[in-house]
Structure 1
Amino acid sequence: MLYGISPLISPELLKVLMEMGHGDEIVLADGNFPAASHAARLVRCDGHKIPELLDAILKLFPLDTYVERPAAVMQVVPGDTAQTPIWEEYRAIIQQRTGIAEPFEEVERFAFYERAKKAYAIVATGESALYANLILKKDVIKA
């Protein structure tokens, strides 16, 4: 344990966040996402929900200001009637932590999977909300 770092941030996740460079992406994957089969680096955060983890990460992790949309969500599959209220939770957390009001790019499901395979890491969570997967793009640390 350390001062100022949420206990939700495991040593492994902290290491991954520190290793990442400008433009690298990390996926916060819901419980249904095929994280283990898609990850170059897999971080287990089983039992944790993404909103709480997102808030803890954004206290340490700058979102990329050099791109129009530094975060991405998986687009609802056409014909699926699922609702995505969790996106509003994410938006509120991101706006509170970064000031970015419209952070999301919506990515088609299979394109999202391909992008996740190229991400620096995938964090497998216990999130049960549908379409709760989230990609974050890292910025530079400005002194």
Structure 2
Amino acid sequence: MLKGIDPILSPDLLHALRSMGHGHEIAIVDANYPCDEDAHVIRLDGVLGTRILDAVLSVMPLELGDSQATCRMIVDGNPETELPIFGEFLEIVSKHAGPTSAMSAITPVEFKERAKSGFAIILSGDGRLYGNILLKKGVVPPVS
């Protein structure tokens, strides 16, 4: 047991987050996401993607000043389509990274390519469609 660490951050997930370097990407994906052939999949069955995002961002900094530090999929070819989960994602990102945070919309093909080449994919138990978010790790500034 550890103090101050969200209990859904499993040993495998903590290892991945700690092993990531500046600029590495990690994806949190919904239960329908096809990732059975991807190299590093961390399963958190039964856990909502929003809950995982909140836990991950409690320990992982996002890349500052990068318009694609957080990305979600474009729905049905229309980047303007907003699903409720996107607002939930943005609220959690803003809580951890500040109110000026934004989330870029990228094509499903680009999302899948970047997720597959990223550091890890966290497979949630979330059944909400398009409940997928890509995160780019930032740096922890030195303590003054």
Provide the TM-score with structure 2 as the length reference. 0.91
For residue 45 of structure 1, what is the amino acid of its counterpart?
L
* 1:100 CA displacement: 4.2
Aligned counterpart, 2:88:
89
Q: How many residues align?
A: 140
CA contact (8 A) 1:69 1:102 kept: no
Cα distance in 1 between the residues matched to 2:117 and 2:102 = 20
Aligned counterpart, 2:74:
75
* 1:102 CA displacement: 3.7
Cα distance in 1 between the residues matched to 2:57 and 2:4 = 12
Within 5 Å, give how 1:1-143 maps onto structure 2: 1-37=1-37, 39-78=38-77, 84-143=83-142
* 1:108 CA displacement: 0.6
Cα distance in 1 between the residues matched to 2:99 and 2:19 = 24
Q: Percent identity?
A: 36
* 1:109 CA displacement: 1.1
For residue 10 of structure 2, what is the amino acid of its counterpart?
S
* 1:84 CA displacement: 1.2
For residue 124 of structure 1, what is the amino acid of its counterpart?
L
For residue 110 of structure 1, what is the amino acid of its counterpart?
V
Give the SS at the match of 1:106: strand
The 1:70–1:100 alpha-carbon spacing in structure 2 relative to 1, beyond 3 Å, is farther
Cα distance in 2 between the residues matched to 1:10 and 1:4 = 13
CA contact (8 A) 2:77 2:107 kept: no
The Cα offsets for residues 20-43 of structure 1, whole Å up to 9 and x where unpaired, read as 000000000100101222x22111
For residue 15 of structure 2, what is the amino acid of its counterpart?
K
CA contact (8 A) 2:64 2:138 kept: yes
Provide the TM-score with structure 1 as the length reference. 0.92
Cα RMSD of the aligned pairs, angstroms, is 1.5
Q: Which runs of 5+ in 1 are unaligned?
A: none
Moved over 6 A (4+): none
